[in-house]
Amino acid sequence: MLDYRLITEPDALCNGAHLVSWPGSPLLAQLTLANDQLIDDMAQRALKGTVADTCFGCAPFARITLIPKEEWQDPITDSLTAALRPLCKVPTAPRLLLDASLAADTSAFAQALRFVFNLDWNLEDLGLRRTSVDKPRFQHLDLFCLPGQHEELETRVHQQHVIALGMIAARRLADLPSEQCTPQYVVEEAQRLCVAYPALRCEVLDEKAIVDQGLGLLHAVGKGSSRPPRLLAIHYDGIPEGPVRSYVGKGITFDTGGLWLKEGAGMYTMKYDMCGAANVLGLMQSIAALALPVRVMGVLALAENAIGPEAMQPGSVARACNGMTVEINNTDAEGRLVLADAIAWASQRHPKTQYIIDMATLTGAVVKALGYELSGLMTQDETLREHLIHAGKKSGDEVWSLPLDARLKKQTDSAIADLCNTPTNNAAISASAAWLLHHFCPPEIPWAHLDVSGTALWREGGRSVASGRPIPLLMQHLLNDLAEDGR
């Protein structure tokens, strides 16, 4: 991970760095440049709403960038990160000096900070492409703050650094090609990561245990593949006893659509259909790295939705581990099946769970509704809804609530089973999936569903890579939760 430090005045280590600040910053008043007029000229451009940037005449720095003040405090459009992104593609210097004096406590700065820390991972790190020259990267991050900001900022930066650690773990796993990233590989990778944290332990159900414990929906999805399904539970005991908070992730390591076969173009990014599970793994790593005083369980429902002699068929009926039956009228709606079993299993594993939050790249419909910036939130628990919305705004990893009530009942009616997995009228697809899922969490346990189909990937230049969302949202929600408990 990128090395960082907090400073209250620039020192010799900052020489040769790329300085990023804002017009009128107290940092600029401390600078002694060879060109005394440079900062004034750049500030005038930035005050007019333009990013001012130069690599010339800025000694002792290698580069100076002034970003308009309003962009440092914009919580909606992520404009600070958008301004930083092209600057960081090919760094001019190995060291970045980032001014934190204005926006240290804003969601815009939290997003920008996570972006910088996440620069530590890119697709070239997979080692799958020959490159003649290693791309330059930032090696050090200096954060300038005022003396009175130092203590609070130190805590905030450490939290974002650890959140980015989990995001990178999730992104690294999700970016892998699916022929490597199988259900068993995810299990082994989780076990490898957990070795570094004594408070983490893994519990694995193989294909036999999945059948023996009655997870018929997970079995139905995974049985068509030569790479059998797994259920992985990662337990974190930051305190010896107390309620458990549970997170469940959809882990379809590749989704062909099954016998309801996708078109080729729609299948291309389906290695990312396990981002929910990858993000649960990254979340657990972040929780353990912060040594939070809490008990948590992360459940990864892992399967490959493939075509084969044993593949589930439209019209099949499968039974979940809570006894409910589901008619599978669309084999390409497999994510809600594995989630349903995992949610039910999690509620049985810890009957006094404080809450269950699931996350999944579940429906394209949520992208049509909310685009690529907002995750869809569906819950019937008003407290949990309020807390997640607040955490989203504070972290900059926002959610938008969609309706979930009995008016959706007809969307999951089946003539042959308790439920069907997709509505036959092709309406309210995202909310209908959530309505199906709510049957698998006991009413006494607060539950929320996050559809991250739009946010789990970062799209740029016609390409998609894993984003690590909604880890920032869930970490902020947990930190808020613990603060309310006085921990």
Catalytic residue among 45, 69, 156, 262: 262
For residues 375 and 359, give the distance between their C-alpha atoms in angstroms, rounded to a whole number: 10
- Torsion angle in degrees (nearest 10) through CA of 145, 147, 152, 155: 70
Q: In three state form, how does the secondary structure of the chain look?
A: CCEEEEECCCCHHHCCCEEEECCCCHHHHCCCCCCCCHHHHHHHHHHCCCCEEECCCCCCCCEEEECCHHHHHCCCCCHHHHHHHHHHHCCCCCEEEEECCCCCCCHHHHHHHHHHHHCCCCHHHHCCCCCCCCCCCCCEEEEECCHHHHHHHHHHHHHHHHHHHHHHHHHHHHHCCCCCCCHHHHHHHHHHHHCCCCCEEEEEECHHHHHHCCCHHHHHHHCCCCCCCEEEEEEEECCCCCCEEEEEEEEEEEECCCCCCCCHHHHCCHHHHHHHHHHHHHHHHHHHHCCCCCEEEEEEEEEEECCCCCCCCCCEEEECCCCCEEEECCCCCCHHHHHHHHHHHHHHHCCCCCEEEEEECCCCHHHHHHCCCCEEEEECCHHHHHHHHHHHHHHCCCEEECCCCHHHHHHHCCCCCCEECCCCCCCCHHHHHHHHHHCCCCCCCCEEEEECCCCCEEEECCEEEECCCCHHHHHHHHHHHHHHCCC
- Strands 399-401 and 316-319 come out as unpaired
If we measure between CA atoms, which residue out of 50, 49, 9 comes closest to residue 31? 9
Query: 85 an active-site residue?
Result: no
Which CA distances in Å does 263 have to 178, 207, 257, 270, 332?
18, 29, 9, 11, 11
Catalytic residue among 63, 223, 250, 336: 336
For residues 485 and 232, give the distance between their C-alpha atoms in angstroms, rounded to a whole number: 29
- Strands 447-451 and 95-99 come out as unpaired
Query: 262 an active-site residue?
Result: yes
Count CB neighbours of 213 within 10 A. 16
Cα angle 268-85-106, degrees, rounded to a multiple of 5:
110
Q: How crowded is the C-beta side of 4, counted as CA atoms within 13 Å?
A: 26
Would you please indicate which residues are annotated as catalytic (active-site) residues? Answer: 262, 336
